[in-house]
Structure 1
Amino acid sequence: MKKTFTLQLSPEEAYDSQLFKETVLKKAGLSPHLEAAFARQTRRSIDARGRKVIINVEAELFLNEKPGSLLDHFPAYQQVHQADPILIVGAGPAGLFAALRAIELGVKPIIIERGKDVRARRRDLAAINKEGIVNPDSNYCFGEGGAGTYSDGKLYTRSKKRGDIRRIMEILVAHGATEEILVDAHPHIGTNKLPILVAKLRETILGSGGVIHFETRVEDLILEANEIIGVVTQNGDVLKGLGVILATGHSARDIFQLLHRRNVLIEAKPFALGVRIEHSQNLIDRIQYHCALDRGEYLPASAYSLVQQTDFRGKQRGVFSFCMCPGGFIVPAATAQGELVVNGMSPSRRDSKFANSGMVVSVELEDLPEYQKFGALSAMYFQADIEKKAWELGGKNQVAPAQRMVDFVNRKVSSSLLDTSYQPGLESVEMREVLPDFISARMAMAFKAFGQKMKGYFTNEAQIIGVESRTSSPVRIPRDRESFEHPQIKRLYPCGEGAGYAGGIVSAAMDGERCAEKLIASYVKR
């Protein structure tokens, strides 16, 4: 027999498994020591709006029976060794999930990935952290699993396609993720666990007859009569398929330049640019959980989400937090020598003493008049110039320019900087030398406003670290709204973050699946 409950619990009741079971049994009017019972949570969210933190829980209680899995979807992967092939450029979440969906539909995916497999990437991440050496094909953005694998693993998305979200989560669970991601309102896997999961996704693709070419960079497209029939790699190899899913991520500037050079239609796209801001996690916990000392044993490291509209020279733009990483680290995310980019990540335990978040300003194309000469690549070149300036002011390595928050607002170079999670180190600079006026002025306005929304947030015990510039792609590769096919080049399916159609692991994975479905429906004979 199964009973369901909607509960409001204390953190201890929600996160201590034995106490949770006893609490549910009491709610059911049963003995809290009943052994022939099993209680589990099916949905959980934290409500910290009041003075007392409440955990909202949906729960199931099973009496005299064992519960089944929380999974509703068990993917069935066919053997596709001899099936028709499609090409997938990029092995991030969009590319991997496009490949898995192709296999489910009986088609052979051939993935072309410029970077290394997820394990081999570690050496290149160590090199950029410790020595400031950037491998342009293997870094925090490029390689198996994409940018999300080593830069956090948050699974929260604002996508409205809720059914697709559940499906993606269940595929992740089927490949080793904990069922907790099906329960938490803001699920998170963690950078320490994602590589193992990504390797299992690869095993499924290869075991089903798919192909993955690592350390293989696409350098040209094979186009015939406005139709793509294949690609050429850096070694001169030609790979062909029934269609091409282009899932290269938001940082593949060489792909944008290739498309532009080959007169394939692309468009400049608004994006957002700013900094990472780092506080102590204890301070954020005390603000968010209204606690005097620390959050205690049961509550997870707290997060925040902030947004503020600003007016600068008569133009309204939003300033907002992005990819907030509680208990996390700031990492160097450059993809080439001569640039400096920062990003955030959190391990599964979120047990770092630091909290960091992107704090970025919306950039519209009208904000960049001097870059209009670059046409579709205008926002990309603006982004690149800011990253180069940050690299120069940091000392022409991966040391990042930084400034204490109140000092930044008061236009004062910080005489000293705080401890940081950013391993390559920080250099005290006036961040207005890095950021243009229309961004820095808006950030200063927003920081003051955020201090009113979160008492204690606006403090010189926090510092801004720059630049956070890879929030989304500065280029859109257009596609038809119904078919997902490029409007000019047949059989080309722009996909995921790099094409401008996703913003994170889950939304990119969903987009990959949909692109595979559309391509196969149009061009694979049944």
Structure 2
Amino acid sequence: MQQTITLRVPPEEAENASIIHQYISSAINIALGAVKGYTVLKSSIDARGKKPLIQLSLLAYINEPPQKRAVPEIIYKDVHRAPRSVIIIGAGPAGLFAALQLLQQGIKPIILERGKAVRERRRDLAAINKLGIMNPESNYCFGEGGAGTYSDGKLYTRSNKRGNVNSILNTFVRFGADEKILYQAHPHIGTNKLPQIITAMREQIVASGGEVHFNKKVTDLIIENDRIKAIKTADGDAFTAGAVILATGHSARDIFHLLHHKKIRIEAKPFALGVRAEHPQALIDQSQYKCPARGQWLPPASYSLVEQVNTHGVFSFCMCPGGIIAPAATDENEIVVNGWSPSKRNNPHANSGIVVQVTEKDVRAIPALKKDYGSKMNSPLFMLHFQQWVEQAAFKAGGGKLVAPAQRMVDFCTSRISETLPGCSYLPGIHSAPLWEVLPPFVTKALQKAFPLFGQKIKGYYSNDAVIVATESRTSSPVRIPRDSNSLLHPQIKNLYPCGEGAGYAGGIVSAAMDGERVAAAVCAAFKG
């Protein structure tokens, strides 16, 4: 007999199988010996009471042997001689999962990635962190796995509106992720483990007959009769296929410029912009868990914050417990900060983007931006220009070599220069600067009001022990590439499929992966039709 049971247990008992057997025995009033095992269906932390508890949903096996968790088998077809092929521009989550979906349907994927493979990419990240030298083609955003490879590996999306979440998680497990991601309320792989998983995906694609080409920056689209006839890359190569999936991510500005130059329709899109806030992890633990120290059984605590300040939403974004702040710029003379955590989340700091919703109306009302960009403010790239304008201001305030401008939190909110700065995980270094001169006034005002309000929700949050670092500006794409809601095709180009975060249809690893699968399925349907 199998029976589903819900338990609430102390953290130190949650993974002790013999104790869980006793709980199951008591819960359904049967002999302990009748409990033969269990499978965890869902696990979450309930920290609402005086002591944190782990809430478990279990499938208990009574008087029958337990079964291993079933991970659905996926069959990838041999496409070495497949009659049809699809070019995928970008090897991030959207591109990789699109390729894997095409393999299941017997269609050959040809991935063009401007950056490097994971192993080679690491050297460029080391140069960014240690020397402040940024390679525009290989960095935290560009390269195998895209921005997701080195941005924490959070898999928090639980909505199935864009696709099947469980299918995505099972695929990650198939390629090496811990099966805990299948049942944790807030699954997380970790930046240290994602590279091996991404590599395994690429090896499967190649073994099945697909192609993955690195250092292939797309520079031109050859269009005839409203169809892409060929893709040209910076090294002079050309690629042809029956369809093109454009999955370049939210930071491939050159692609947006190329589309605009080719008079292919794109649209300005709202996004969010602000700072990274970093606190001692112990402070967040104490507040969230309501105890002096979390101990060895609880994971580093996270938080989710949101406030409406006048007409602007202010919210936490990509919260990284036990993580670091990373330099995520993709162009020279710009500062972009992001966050990531290793799988153990064992660093002493907690950081999160704290960002403000940015509308087209907000941006059009900035006099200095109008002065600097003039007639460009009339193009669909004007939100991108705004994003770049703030990032360049941050670089200038930092003083170069990717040093980021920063302030203590209370100093920023009270418009005081920080005489000193606390320790910070941002490896290129931070420099005290008045962030109200870096950020647009409407962003500054919203943050200055929001931080004290956040302090009312998390004890100790609003503190000068916290440091805020500018600028967190790549929350989502500032451009949308339109597509038909049914065919998923671009309305002008008959074989172009916009996909993922860069096109404006995803926001994170899981949603990008789901969109990749969805677009690949649409391509397959079009081929069959």
User: TM-score with structure 2 length normalisation?
Assistant: 0.95
**1:490 corresponds to:** 494
2:347 partner letter: S
Between stretches 189-198 and 151-160, larger displacement belongs to: 151-160
Structure 1 contact 12–19 (Cα < 8 Å) conserved:
no
Q: Deviations over 1:240-299 (max 9, x none)?
A: 0010000000000000000011100000100000000000110001110111x2111211
The whole-number CA distance in structure 1 between the counterparts of 2:510 and 2:469 is 27
**1:173 corresponds to:** 173
Question: 1:225 offset after TM fit, Å?
Answer: 1.3
1:143 aligns with 2:156: no
The whole-number CA distance in structure 1 between the counterparts of 2:60 and 2:338 is 42
Question: 1:23 offset after TM fit, Å?
Answer: 2.8
Match of 1:335 among 330, 337, 343: 330
**1:48 corresponds to:** 47
**1:86 corresponds to:** 86
Q: Deviations over 1:27-86 (max 9, x none)?
A: 344555x49722231101112122222222111222455433433522111001111110
The whole-number CA distance in structure 2 between the counterparts of 1:113 and 1:449 is 43
Residues 266-415 of structure 1 aligned to structure 2 (within 5 Å)? 266-291=266-291, 293-311=292-310, 316-369=311-364, 370=370, 373-415=377-419
1:100 partner letter: L
The whole-number CA distance in structure 1 between the counterparts of 2:319 and 2:242 is 40
Q: 1:17–1:129: structure 2 CA closer, same or farther, 3 Å change rule?
A: farther
Match of 2:474 among 470, 473, 484: 470
**2:367 corresponds to:** none
The whole-number CA distance in structure 2 between the counterparts of 1:424 and 1:187 is 29
**1:12 corresponds to:** 12
Question: 1:457 offset after TM fit, Å?
Answer: 1.1
1:59 partner letter: L
Q: Secondary structure of 1:61's match?
A: strand
Q: Deviations over 1:74-99 (max 9, x none)?
A: 21110011111100000000000000
Between stretches 164-173 and 65-74, larger displacement belongs to: 65-74
Structure 1 contact 317–361 (Cα < 8 Å) conserved:
yes
Q: Deviations over 1:356-396 (max 9, x none)?
A: 00000000001112366241100101110111111111112
The whole-number CA distance in structure 2 between the counterparts of 1:412 and 1:167 is 50
Structure 1 contact 230–243 (Cα < 8 Å) conserved:
no
The whole-number CA distance in structure 2 between the counterparts of 1:158 and 1:362 is 23
2:330 partner letter: T
Match of 2:515 among 501, 511, 515: 511
The whole-number CA distance in structure 2 between the counterparts of 1:221 and 1:42 is 47
Structure 1 contact 229–243 (Cα < 8 Å) conserved:
no
Question: 1:3 offset after TM fit, Å?
Answer: 2.6
**2:524 corresponds to:** 520
1:186 partner letter: H
The whole-number CA distance in structure 2 between the counterparts of 1:17 and 1:461 is 41
**2:451 corresponds to:** 447
Structure 2 contact 21–35 (Cα < 8 Å) conserved:
no
Q: Deviations over 1:288-330 (max 9, x none)?
A: 0111x2111211111100011111xxxx110000000011111
Structure 2 contact 273–357 (Cα < 8 Å) conserved:
yes
**1:199 corresponds to:** 199
Residues 210-225 of structure 1 aligned to structure 2 (within 5 Å)? 210-225=210-225
2:428 partner letter: P
The whole-number CA distance in structure 1 between the counterparts of 2:258 and 2:24 is 59
User: TM-score with structure 1 length normalisation?
Assistant: 0.96
Q: Deviations over 1:398-428 (max 9, x none)?
A: 1111000000001011111111111111101
**1:152 corresponds to:** 152
Q: Secondary structure of 1:376's match?
A: coil
Structure 2 contact 322–347 (Cα < 8 Å) conserved:
yes
The whole-number CA distance in structure 2 between the counterparts of 1:299 and 1:22 is 22
**2:38 corresponds to:** 39
Q: Secondary structure of 1:473's match?
A: coil
Q: Secondary structure of 1:147's match?
A: helix
The whole-number CA distance in structure 1 between the counterparts of 2:317 and 2:40 is 29
Residues 214-253 of structure 1 aligned to structure 2 (within 5 Å)? 214-253=214-253
Question: 1:17 offset after TM fit, Å?
Answer: 4.2
1:449 partner letter: L
The percent identity for this pair of structures is 55
1:428 aligns with 2:432: yes
Residues 42-81 of structure 1 aligned to structure 2 (within 5 Å)? 42-63=41-62, 65-81=64-80
**1:132 corresponds to:** 132
Structure 2: segments with no counterpart, 5+ residues: 365-369
Q: Secondary structure of 1:120's match?
A: helix
The whole-number CA distance in structure 2 between the counterparts of 1:21 and 1:464 is 47
Q: 1:282–1:17: structure 2 CA closer, same or farther, 3 Å change rule?
A: farther
The whole-number CA distance in structure 2 between the counterparts of 1:160 and 1:79 is 29
